[in-house]
Each structure stands twice: as structure tokens, then as C-alpha cells.
Structure 1
């Protein structure tokens, strides 16, 4: 793929390219945002449950031994509890059963969970949704300098991008005019790894959400190098020092550099470089269906792209644009403008499905009660609690 185009600012703003006015030496305190914390907390264990769901769905019998699912626990960032207790915590989602006395405990989905999965699959299969996922994936690749990303980086964003389980074979393989699989040299592992590459640069997609808004959706009116200002919101109790606010106001008036341009030649510690880094983060979060992702995902991408600690500085200096939540055993970066209180302003159809999954997870099922059952899967008999329907 052809490299990203150079920025158009060199000719239009030559006097600003070497501006080194840097962030003043002041501490920007972190203030919790209860609404955005709630938006993050709602999805506690959702990603892990959907991962287990996909493993069960794609097994031939639509069920798996509890022992094999236990092996996935370290890879899913589950809390320090046994797999058995985890599945018992969600009886409306999972059913524990023993196929026969000679076999160990197995896990399968409940009818309600299967129904939701079928509805989710129907959404993934809609032509409009497939095209939307392909465009967002293409734009993600276009944020890179070479138009390619290792799969280990893409997979970090798989859930947040709303990609189907087998997205390479079930989605991307049907768009050979967009994507191809290649190998790239990974500097961290010092070896060749599989990557996804954009076949050719797509000019019509090289428009950020900020630019689209500035021209009212009419790309003929799009002007590069405009002084676009990022939306900023602060939670109650947040108070920036006056000198910090003055710096932010001046920084906002700098020209906006498209995240689809290559601006690595700017001084890394300069304000223009920081505004470009913020633009990249803003566009990346906007591409995600939930408008949020784990902080480590952003840092992994930033390290691969060569941003160094620019993403870290951007998150630290601009709490009015990005919020970092410490909920659910991780740190999650949320794009503030995408939320009103704890609700998404524009909700993707897949987010609607996730809310239904969450409702099922939290559903108190009065028709179920714990029953002692003997499991014969180990050498000595172990008594476990299974959940069965009262009317069966």
C-alpha cells in the first residue's frame, strides 16, 4: 500500500511547524466521573462471558468440558475464582450438566443466551453492518504509516470494534479488494508475525470524524489545516488551574492535523505533535462501537506505531477529552463527548445487543435453585451445585 500522505500544513503554516510551546509544569489531577465509571462497570465480565459463549457455540456439540474452559481463564483476565463458581454466578447464561456418569461436568448455553446469540449473528450478517465493519477496519489500518497491523494488535481491539468471532474468514475474506494477509517484522518479538494489510489507500475514507463534522458531511467543503477544537467536558468538582486552562485554550487554537496524515516529523514534545496525537486517539476511539477501550490496548498500538509516550501525555494532559476509569480490574479510556451521563449518544446496533446480554447476566431467575449433584468426572466423587429448572 502507498504510504500515508504528508501533512498539508507545511505550506499553509510554515511559521507554526517548529512551535515548541510545551505543556506547563503543572499537575492535572484525576477526578472520578461517576457516570462514565458506571458506563464501564455495567460491562463487568461481559467480554469474558461472550468469549466463553463463542467457544461453546463453535464447538461441535455446543458444549465443552468444564476443565477445558478452565484453561481459558488466565487468558480472559477473570477474577481469582474457580471456573465452576464463575459459571454458577450466571445461571441465566450457562447451564452445567453431566452428559453421563462416566464423563466430567460440561457447560452449555441456556436457551435465552442462544436466542441472543442468534440475534447478534443476524446483525453481523446484515450487508450494511458488514460494510460498516469493513470501513472501520480499513480506517484503523489507515491510521498506521504502512497501512498494516499485526493480528495480535488488531485482536486487542476485536471486542471494541464489534468484530465477529472468526472475523478473518467470516468477514474480511469476502473483501479482497480491501485486505490481504501479510507478514511483518515485529520489533518486540524480533520475528515475523502475521498481519493484516490494506490493499490500497482509500482517499474517501481518509476523513476523520472531526473533519466530517467541520464540513457538515459535505467533503467538497472540507478544508485541511483548520483550527478545529476538540469537545471538552469535565465532571463536577474538576477545576483546572488558570494557567493550565490558558494553555489548553491556546492549544485548541492550533491547526488540526488529520490522523490520516503522517506528522512524525514534528518535534515530539511540541504542541502540534500533541494535537496530532490527540487527533489519532480521538479518531481511534470514535471507530470503536463502545467509544472506549482498555488503556493498555492504546499503549500497545502506540508503541507499535512509534508514538512512544505521546499517548500517555495526551491522556494525562487532556482529561476533558478523555476519561480514564479504574473500574473492573483495569483502566479504561473513554471518549467523553460520545457519552451523555452513562449512555452513548449514538448507539451502535451491537451495543444494543450487549445491553441485552448484560440484562440476561444480571437477571435474577427465580425459577432456578441450587441442587446438590454428584459429579463423576474425577477419581473421587465431588459434590457440586448445579442449577436446574424447577418445572423439569
Structure 2
């Protein structure tokens, strides 16, 4: 017969297993989620939105490469050697010809007593844009601060690794030097923590209730003020034209939308990972993160870097395909990009971030340079055409060889 201690140990083990086991209803919910499959369908309009920004991303990479060099100058051939890393599809000479207002080319030696070689430096037009960029970032610093605090407030320990933040800073419109500019100016909210032998973290110093409201919650409040009727926060589901869900998926989505909204800023440490509430919370976090980005879209691998801090499951990417009326995943450029459907109307971004003014001004500068390039090409072609016409007219005035020989053979 087992001893009392062994029976007590077995009883303790049995109770521990019962406590750790999720309720039966969660098994059904988890099973229902795993059995739901939505076929991915291409959205040409949203894919085109990513394509339209290809020139902006390419030129921004080249400009940053030069600005990050000592003295903000770089030998021409050094930049040519970095084409593959910059994903520059044309030679640097061709790139400079297409956008002549970005850089000045001047001769200088790489080392003393060496012959001069072509160097690049920012042009006066680019310098003017950089000054405007600094002024606009200073004007919209409260918005950048709010975004940074919101990201920290959504995280598990109110802190995020600096390395991960720096990888995603441009998606949110945060300044490149945020650790040297934005963070030190707001010590009452942000603190940089260097733990011994550990990677640096950015930590939230104090909780701000004004920031602890999601886009969905604010939208419900605004609608309530307009209508005078209390609105329940919920997601805006917009299925693309011609997209239909199977009956079981429609019923599941309907029941899921009826669940109470779970704020991404709420404490969800007690929620079971397989619960319906946790699914609602995961969608809320992903929706809020995308809402904080400049273009209301973000590369899925970059989002995945924050999965641990935001308490997202390893299979969080399935959330995007399970909710096609809220998200769209584009495969443009060979990388998965999650997009917010509600932010776009027929492929055009309608929910515009104030910081996008910087991008708009940059594109204006690129358009000016490209227009100058096209005018040069046109002038060159016209000059070549005139030369050809002049040569043709001169050839027409010259007598034929047969006529000349006949004239010389006639007697005097």
C-alpha cells in the first residue's frame, strides 16, 4: 500500500495538472481556430500601393548611405561597390543623372598625395530638404513621443530592446537619432537601461492614461459624441469586392466580433493563450501597431521581432489570414507585408499620418530632379535631330557622283 507521503505527492501532482489544464471550452475554441482556413487572395490595388513607394524607398536608402559617411561625403566608386547592398538596380552614374539635384560631384583625393577621384556630397537642394525635415520632426515631436510610449505600454514589461526599436524606427516615423534626441528630452517618460552583460532596453518611466487608448477606442468615443449613442469599440471589417467567406467562417467571425473588445493596453497576463479573449487581444495589438506606422503597413518579419514583448504566439501570422476583412498580407518584393484595410480606399492611403509630410516633400524633390533629367534628355534628342536634319540637307545639296562624271566628260 502506498505511503501517505507518496499518496500526497500523487494528489498534489493530479491537482497541479488539473489547474494547469485549460477549461474544456478552450479546447473547443482552439480546435475551431486551427480548423478555420481562409484562402489568401491577391489584392492588386493594395499591392500597387506598395509598388508606388518603391522609388521613395530606393532613393531614401542611397541618401542615408551618403549622410551616414564621415563628413557626409563618399567616393563615387565606394557607392558603386555598395549597389548590391543598397538594392540599386542601375549604376550610380545613371542614378545621379536621373536625380541630379540630390548630390554634387567634385574631385578630391581619398588619401593625401593621391590623385583626385570623383566624390559625392549632398547638394544645396538636399541640404534645404534636410533642414525642412528637422523642422517638421521638431513640430511633430509630441506625435513621435506618443507612438514610442504606446509601443512601450503595449509590451509585457513596459520595456523594449533598443535593437528591435531601431530596426522598426522608420516604419513609425521615429527619428534616426531617437536615443540621442527624443529619449533624453523626456526623462519623465522614457529611460534607457543598460543592464550589466545584457542588451540595452528602453523603459517606460510613468504610465500616461492619455496614451492608453487605442485607435478603435477613440473612434468609438468620437462616434458616440457625434450620435449621442454609446458605441461599443469594435473592428471595422471590410472584405474586398468579390471576396466571400464560407458559411462556417462567416459564423465564426460573427460570433468573434460579438466578444468584448480587449484593449492592447490592458493587463492580459491572466488570459489563457488559447482563449477567445486572447485572440481578440492579439488582433487588437496588431491593429494598434499597424495604426501607429506611417503607411499603416509593416513587414511581417519586423512585427515578429516583437512577438515575445507583445505576447503574440509563434503562429501570430495566422491572425492576418484569419481576419481578411481587417488585414491584408501583400507578397510584393518577396516579403510579407501586413496592411490595414480600413486605412486604404481603392489602394490609396486615406488615413494619413502628419509625419508623411516629410515623405511628400522628399518626393517633390525627386520629381523636380527627374523632370530636369527628362528635359535634358529631350534637349539632347532635339539637338541630335537637328544635327541629323542638317546633315541630310547638306547631303541633298551635294551633286551625285554620276552627274559629276558626266559633266567632266562633256567637250569644252
CA separation in 2, counterparts of 1:110 and 1:367? 20
Q: 1:265 aligns with which of 254, 260, 270?
A: 270
Q: Is the 8 A contact 1:289 1:350 kept in 2?
A: yes
Equivalent residue in structure 1 for 2:115, among 83, 102, 113: 102
**Cα distance, 1:184–1:320 mapped onto 2, change above 3 Å:** farther
Q: Which residue of 2 aligns with 1:216?
A: 222
CA–CA separation in structure 2 for the residues paired with 1:180 and 1:73: 38
- Provide the secondary structure at the position in 1 that maps to 2:355: helix
Q: Please name the residue that 2:9 is paired with.
A: none
Confirm or deny that 1:253 pairs with 2:262. no
Which of residues 143, 157, 167 in structure 2 aligns to 1:146? Answer: 157
Per the normalisation by structure 1, the TM-score is 0.76
- The 5 Å alignment of 1:180-195 reads 180-183=191-194, 192-195=198-201
Which 10-residue stretch deviates more, 261-270 or 132-141?
261-270
Contact 2:300–2:317 (CA under 8 A) maintained in structure 1? no
The 3 A distance-change label for structure 1 pair 217 and 19 is: farther
Q: Deviation at 1:238?
A: 1.8
What's the secondary structure of 1:196's corresponding residue? Answer: strand
What per-residue deviation string (whole Å, max 9, x for no partner) do you get for residues 261-308 of structure 1? Answer: 232433323322111100000111111122111111111111444423
Equivalent in the alignment of 1:366: 374
Aligned residues: 342
What's the counterpart of residue 35 of structure 1?
A: 45
Matched, 1:202 2:208: yes
**Kindly tell me: are residues 43 and 310 of structure 1, through their superposed partners in 2, closer, same or farther at Cα, counting changes over 3 Å?**
same
Q: How has the CA–CA distance of structure 1 residues 113 and 299 changed in structure 2, closer, same or farther, with 3 Å as cutoff?
A: same
Residue 339 of structure 2 corresponds to residue 334 of structure 1: yes
Assess if the C-alpha contact under 8 Å between 2:321 and 2:329 holds in 1.
no
Q: What corresponds to 2:134 in structure 1? A: 121
- Say whether 1:177 aligns with 2:185: no
Whether contact under 8 Å (2:36, 2:322) holds in the other structure is: no
What is residue 163 of structure 1 aligned with on the other side?
174
CA distance in 1, matches of 2:211, 2:273: 27
Pair 1:260–1:20, CA change in 2 (3 A): farther
For the structure 1 residues 306 and 94, does the alpha-carbon distance in structure 2 shift closer, same or farther, using more than 3 Å as the test? Answer: same
C-alpha spacing 1:87/1:32, structure 2 compared with 1 (3 Å): farther
Matched with 1:315 is 320
More strand by share: 1
Q: 1:254 to 1:314 in 2, by over 3 A?
A: same
Find the aligned partners of 1:296 and 1:125 in 2 and give their Cα distance. Answer: 30
Distance in 2, Cα, partners of 1:258 & 1:163 = 24
The structure number with the bigger radius of gyration is 2
Q: Contact 1:212 / 1:218 at 8 angstroms: preserved in 2? A: no
Distance 1:74 1:269, change over 3 A: farther
Q: 1:54-69 to 2 correspondence within 5 Å?
A: 54-57=64-67, 59=69, 61-69=71-79
Higher mean displacement: 110-119 or 309-318: 110-119
Larger deviation, residues 273-282 vs 313-322: 313-322
Runs of 5+ in structure 2 lacking a partner? 1-22, 226-230, 378-412
State TM-score, norm by structure 2.
Answer: 0.73
> Given the alignment, which residue of 125, 134, 142 partners 1:112?
125
Partner secondary structure for residue 168 of structure 1: coil
In angstroms, what is the RMSD of aligned CA positions? 3.2
SS in 2 for 1:121: helix
Q: Is the 8 A contact 1:56 1:62 kept in 2?
A: yes
* Native 8 Å contact 1:96 1:105 kept in 2: yes
Give the Cα separation in 1 of the matches to 2:315 and 2:34.
16
Verify the 8 A CA contact 2:156 2:311 in the aligned structure 1.
Answer: no
Gap regions ≥5 residues in structure 1? 1-14, 186-190, 220-225, 370-392
Distance 2:24 2:366 in 1: 53
